[in-house]
Amino acid sequence: MIADNSSFTYKGHAIDVKQVGRELGVRYVLEGLVRKDGRRVRISAQLIDALSGTHLWADRFYGSLEEIFDLQDQVAVSIAGVIEPTLQAAEIRYSVERQMTDLTAYDLYLRARSIASSYERNDLVKALELIGQAIARDPRYGLALATAATYRVDLENYDWIDDREGEENRRTAIDLARQALRMGADDPVSWAAPPSCSGVSARTSMPPSP
């Protein structure tokens, strides 16, 4: 979500949605248009995939100037209710269409996730070994990189690693997280915090890049 003062710079201008997406660094754009005819108001809204230009959802709302605040509430509620399921469906389609370069790496990732779900130290260490194998097979596997970073944060948060290894573990977690952000730049799932034992993402502990 981008602040109003960023998106308002496009107000009143003919825009290229793909360009807007690149300039603001967003995947989806919600575009609106308000027209007035006497005492009547029509509000048009559409949700667009800025990467492909595809229209994901569109609707129109009508009302009178005397009821403009009620109309505003109606538009806000309707849009809020439709955005989450629409974006979720779009992201599912995107994930399905995204090519997996190495199915063995994917299998290793799934096995690691299953083992780590026990919330036991030894299992988390085993999960990291499997994730490491997945990354070795596919070094550009953004989700595996992000998950490995998160599991290393879990080792720290649960005090499952001694002080001698702690600093190296933190450096490795930060490096993995940065790799995940680079390699998974076109994958929204890699940017989100992957499931972890502690619920804490490695990104929350990551200092800015030098």
For 164-206, give the secondary structure using H, E and C: HHHHHHHHHHHHHHHHHHHHCCCCHHHHCCCCCCCCCCHHHHC
**pLDDT tens-place string over residues 56-74:** 899 999 999 999 899 989 9
Check whether residue 82 and residue 114 sit in a common domain.
no
Residue 48 lies in a domain: yes
- Given pLDDT bands bounded at 50, 70 and 90, which one contains residue 128? very high
Check whether residue 107 and residue 197 sit in a common domain.
yes
Both tokens of 28, joined, read 């989806």
d(CA 8, CA 100): 38
Strand order from edge to edge, sheet including 55-64:
28-37, 40-49, 55-64
**Claim: this prediction has a pTM higher than 0.75:** no
Last residue of a domain, one of 53, 77, 97: 97
Check whether residue 11 and residue 31 sit in a common domain.
yes
Residue 173 lies in a domain: yes
Residue spans of alpha helices (H) in 26-67: none
Percent of the chain with pLDDT strictly greater than 70: 75
The residue ranking higher by pLDDT, 182 or 63, is 63
Across 146-160, average pLDDT: 89
The residue ranking higher by pLDDT, 96 or 179, is 179
pLDDT at 35: 92
pLDDT at 194: 47
Report in angstroms the alpha-carbon separations of 75 from 31, 49, 122: 13, 20, 52
Across 93-115, average pLDDT: 75
Which residues are CB-contacts of 79 (< 8 A; sequence separation ≥ 6)? 30, 45
Residues 112-126 as b or e (16 or more Cβ within 10 Å = b):
bbebbeeeeeebbeb
Q: Which residues pair with 47 in a beta bridge?
A: 30, 57
pLDDT at 209: 41
Check whether residue 91 and residue 159 sit in a common domain.
no
Range of the domain at 39: 4-97
Residues 192/204, Cβ–Cβ less than 8 Å:
no
Residue 210 lies in a domain: no
Among the ranges given (7-11, 25-29, 43-47), the one the predictor scored with the smallest mean pLDDT: 7-11
Across 174-198, average pLDDT: 65
Last residue of a domain, one of 45, 67, 97: 97
